Chains A and B, each alone.
Chain A
Amino acid sequence: MALSAIFSKGESMNNDYVVKMENITKVFGKVKALDHVEFSLKKGEVHAILGENGAGKSSLMNVLNGIYMPDEGQIEVKGQAVNISSPKIALDLGIGMLPQHYKLVDVFSALENVAAGSRKTSPFLNKKKILDEMGKLIAQLGMDINPNKKVYEMSVAEKQSLEIFKVLYRGADILILDEPTAVLTPQEIKNLFKIVRKMVETGCSVIIITHKLEEVMEISDRITIMRKGTTIQTVNKEETTPQELAGMMVGDVMELNVPYVAVERGKKCLEVKNITAIDRNKVHILDHVSFDLYAGEILGVAGIAGSGQKELCEGIAGLYHIKSGEIIFEGENIVGKNPEKISQMGISLSFVPEDRLGMGLVSSMDIIDNVLLKDYRNTKGMGISRVVSRDKAEALVERLNVSTPAIENHAVSLLSGGNIQKVLLGREIELEPKLMVTAYATRGLDVGSSQIIYELLNEQKVKMKPIMYVGEDLDVLMGLCDRIMVLCEGRVTGIVDPRKTTKEAIGLMMSGVMSEGEETCSIS
């Protein structure tokens, strides 16, 4: 502690900690998002919070920022016990959070965006005064903001700088950055870190949420590792290594009851060759991805959120534009074909998308109509018939034990998350597809429901279906899948046999370390 106090330029020892969170617990329904979490922030330090998706990083910061009220626990800010019940109160205490999705007015200039919502201004806009103040702060931080530039002319990095600036201008000296580097290029990341260091020099304390190990090692003074809603440990950067961090992040191999079924794998069904896709920010969201998928296997896809998993799934399903490369299914290239064309080619493809209610299902419709979504074209003529779908819906509810008051006139959005997923997955399996692609099939589901989903997938595997399973829980991926492909920033960093590798190795690949190629079961 004494060591890090030197690094954090603590002016005096007694107000060393600007934030202390103790025993923070937050429960959503049955899920414990935070389970007696401890966290402390020293004045003038950069503190990274590291963890996988769903580890509770964002939840913890939302508690600190007053968006969530904790069910248990105490928070002290600058030595005072506080009850942070809204972001406004958080800001009064000097806590500001950089939103993950920027909240800027496109047609306003930087100056106008800063002025809007700033409580320093009188009812009248004193542009000159704000401009002066902005100029001082900008010079102090070495930021590159042109106060008169309109937001719609700005790059993502500029928008981010502006958001940071906005928070600082409103008087925050404890800044929370939630995955700030996710949308930036390496050069822009360097700039961001420069600004962060300047902020620390001027007396701010910074919390940075991330899962990129190399960034953690570069910018932070201390690191808190979270996993599954608990804090694992807080360490000083000098006293740790990326390998150790990766290990703490993914945890020990747990005895999970994910049944692996050994199946002799069949013929090659899907061949993805060098596909590349570009997202709205002109980032290569898929970068020369290549892999094969065989009948009777489950290919797991691991990676940090936003590494291209969604785009890969949607690209295969014909919903995301693939710029170059080929996706060969049973000898035919399906790149550039929309879902309608793909099904017309006789390729029955089941895609269980990440966004269940926004894409896989129609939230306001009942189970029958949601089953009908994939069936209605089978009726002859102009009309539709709900007879078949009704039977299917009944069978589905019965077989998967979906708990619903009715299959008719009861919107699926009113069901619980697990039951919604059962409806979606059940419908897709019922189609007897030639290829299954599932994205985060068990996200948000309790153990029992997840178990049913795994069994359903294994059943399909035994029927010699090729299955792609995008997941986030490494224990599950390693238990369920025959092979795991790891994505990082749109690139494949390795395709490994889970029974011949370790979680740490996969964790490192997820952070961008290429697999050393000792395991190459993709090339058979």
Chain B
Amino acid sequence: MLHIVKKDVPKTREKIIVRVLAVLAALAVASIIVVFAGANPIELYIGIFQGCFGTIHRFAATIVKMVPLLVLSLGVMIAFKMRFWNIGAEGQFLMGAVGTTLVVRSFPNLPLPIMLLTMVLVSFVFGAVWLMIPAFFKARYGTNETLFTLMLNYIALTLVTALQYDFWKDPAANGMPKIANLPNNALLPNVSGFNLSILMAVIIVLAMYYFMNRSKIGFEISVLGESENTARYIGINVTKTIMIAALISGGLCGIVGMMQITGVSGALSTEITGGLGFTAIIVAWLSGLKVPFVVLNSFAFAVLLQGASYIQTAFQIPGSVADMIQAIILFFILGSEFALQYRFVSDKTKSEVA
């Protein structure tokens, strides 16, 4: 019989080697699918690379894909640091976008800088409230935040559907169920594809790095996540800390909603999240809840996303094949985590040790 035994903490070098091997193995397995799809795997992988870095515009597209994922991952990271399982980033994202659209509809003629600032603020509040509701119930009544945040996703999605198909439906769209595009004074300015959200993301990353490592409340969140008993022991106000963490976590996810519709999609719709709120959970977790690794992993995911969309057009392969390649790589990387933390021991060797 084989037993699974926990290993010692792996060294950084071992971690890197195992992960690189995992990606290589994933590419090898994915090659089989690529061959069936009628393409040459090597050429295709080079194509992914070119699709991401080939021209300045493609690189800009990669970075623009990275930004929402990065900010969402930072958002869920804070909650996760506190062992508060916020899997409602999708909903907070959508609510942020709803808030943004509400600002534009209410004050359509604001000058661009004021418009952008107002939108950032309102989207932050919308996202934050969407997470502070479950946080309040968790802190006060001990409800399960996992289910609560998950279910709020569907409420947010249904709300957006209602807005899109009814309340905010654009009368000028010839009956198409869509919400009107944002006016120019509500769009993020951009330079050859690099839009202002990149700058915002840089600021958020720096702020979050400081917050997690150098701020009192960030420290309290870490302590609370590790042990509620210790938090109480050193006199941390548990309820207050949960609420603040939820404010920032949900708020960041809300801002992504603003970035996405003002910088990428141009209008609120049910499609804007593209499941990024869930991908962010994977990114945050793979990064060990550390800001620098969140940046790195968000970039890696953005490369996969951008590469996938490029090879669809360049190689005429179906989008589902690109998705499968992505999924296989992810699967292998997640699987390699197991190899990093555990090893197999047979009964025989175990009894010899004992």
**Which residues of A are interface residues toward B (Cβ below 8 A)?**
69, 317, 319, 338-340, 342-343, 351, 353, 355, 358-365, 369, 372-374, 376-377, 379, 382-384
Q: How far is the CB of A474 from chain B (nearest CB, A)?
A: 28
Please indicate the chain B residues that have their CB under 8 angstroms from the CB of A379 in the complex. Answer: 216
Which B residue's beta carbon lies closest to that of A355?
B229
Please indicate the chain A residues that have their CB under 8 angstroms from the CB of B210 in the complex. Answer: 383
**Which residues of B are interface residues toward A (Cβ below 8 A)?**
210, 214-217, 219, 222-223, 226-227, 229-230, 232-237, 354
Q: How far is the CB of B81 from chain A (nearest CB, A)?
A: 11
A340 touches B235 (CB 8 A): yes
Q: How far is it, in angstroms, between the C-alpha of A483 and the C-alpha of B237 when the chains are bound?
A: 36
A377 touches B226 (CB 8 A): no
Please indicate the chain A residues that have their CB under 8 angstroms from the CB of B233 in the complex. Answer: 317, 319, 339, 351, 353, 359-360
B216 touches A338 (CB 8 A): no
Q: How far is the CB of A347 from chain B (nearest CB, A)?
A: 11
Jot down 6 A-B pairs with beta carbons below 8 A, ordered by A. A338-B232, A359-B227, A362-B227, A365-B222, A382-B215, A383-B216
A339-B235, A340-B236 as given contacts; A373 in contact with B230, CB under 8 Å: yes
A376 touches B235 (CB 8 A): no
B237 touches A376 (CB 8 A): no
Please indicate the chain A residues that have their CB under 8 angstroms from the CB of B217 in the complex. Answer: 382
Q: How far is the CB of A187 from chain B (nearest CB, A)?
A: 33
Please indicate the chain B residues that have their CB under 8 angstroms from the CB of A353 in the complex. Answer: 233
Provide the main secondary structure of the chain B interface: helix
A382 touches B230 (CB 8 A): no
A-B contact count (CB 8 A): 60
Q: How far is the CB of B349 from chain A (nearest CB, A)?
A: 15
Q: How far is it, in angstroms, between the C-alpha of A234 and the C-alpha of B215 when the chains are bound?
A: 61
Q: How far is the CB of B235 from chain A (nearest CB, A)?
A: 4
B235 touches A363 (CB 8 A): no
Please indicate the chain B residues that have their CB under 8 angstroms from the CB of A372 in the complex. Answer: 219
Most chain B CB atoms below 10 A, which of A342, A363, A365, A374: A365
Q: How far is it, in angstroms, between the C-alpha of A365 and the C-alpha of B235 when the chains are bound?
A: 18
Q: How far is it, in angstroms, between the C-alpha of A338 and the C-alpha of B215 when the chains are bound?
A: 23
Q: How far is the CB of A415 from chain B (nearest CB, A)?
A: 14
B354 touches A383 (CB 8 A): no
Q: How far is it, in angstroms, between the C-alpha of A69 and the C-alpha of B353 when the chains are bound?
A: 12
Please indicate the chain A residues that have their CB under 8 angstroms from the CB of B236 in the complex. Answer: 340
Q: How far is it, in angstroms, between the C-alpha of A506 and the C-alpha of B219 when the chains are bound?
A: 45
B227 touches A363 (CB 8 A): yes
Which B residue's beta carbon lies closest to that of A338?
B235
A376-B216, A376-B219, A382-B216 as given contacts; A358 in contact with B235, CB under 8 Å: no
Q: How far is the CB of A57 from chain B (nearest CB, A)?
A: 23
A363-B227, A384-B214 as given contacts; A319 in contact with B232, CB under 8 Å: yes
Q: How far is it, in angstroms, between the C-alpha of A319 and the C-alpha of B229 when the chains are bound?
A: 9
A362 touches B235 (CB 8 A): no
A384 touches B230 (CB 8 A): no
Q: How far is the CB of B218 from chain A (nearest CB, A)?
A: 8
Please indicate the chain B residues that have their CB under 8 angstroms from the CB of A339 in the complex. Answer: 232-235
Besides A362-B222, A384-B214, 20 other A-B contacts (C-beta < 8 A): A317-B233, A339-B233, A340-B235, A351-B233, A355-B229, A358-B230, A359-B229, A359-B233, A362-B223, A362-B227, A363-B227, A365-B222, A365-B223, A373-B223, A376-B216, A377-B216, A379-B216, A383-B214, A383-B215, A383-B216
Please indicate the chain A residues that have their CB under 8 angstroms from the CB of B354 in the complex. Answer: 69
A340 touches B219 (CB 8 A): no
Which B residue's beta carbon lies closest to that of A369?
B219
Q: How far is it, in angstroms, between the C-alpha of A137 and the C-alpha of B354 when the chains are bound?
A: 40
Please indicate the chain A residues that have their CB under 8 angstroms from the CB of B227 in the complex. Answer: 358-359, 362-363
Which B residue's beta carbon lies closest to that of A386?
B214
Please indicate the chain A residues that have their CB under 8 angstroms from the CB of B230 in the complex. Answer: 358-362, 373
Q: How far is it, in angstroms, between the C-alpha of A369 and the C-alpha of B226 when the chains are bound?
A: 13
Choose from B215, B229, B234, B237 the contact partner of A373 (Cβ within 8 Å). Answer: B234
Q: How far is the CB of B225 from chain A (nearest CB, A)?
A: 9
Q: How far is the CB of A329 from chain B (nearest CB, A)?
A: 16
Please indicate the chain B residues that have their CB under 8 angstroms from the CB of A364 in the complex. Answer: 226
A355-B229, A358-B227, A362-B226 as given contacts; A374 in contact with B234, CB under 8 Å: yes
Please indicate the chain B residues that have their CB under 8 angstroms from the CB of A342 in the complex. Answer: 235
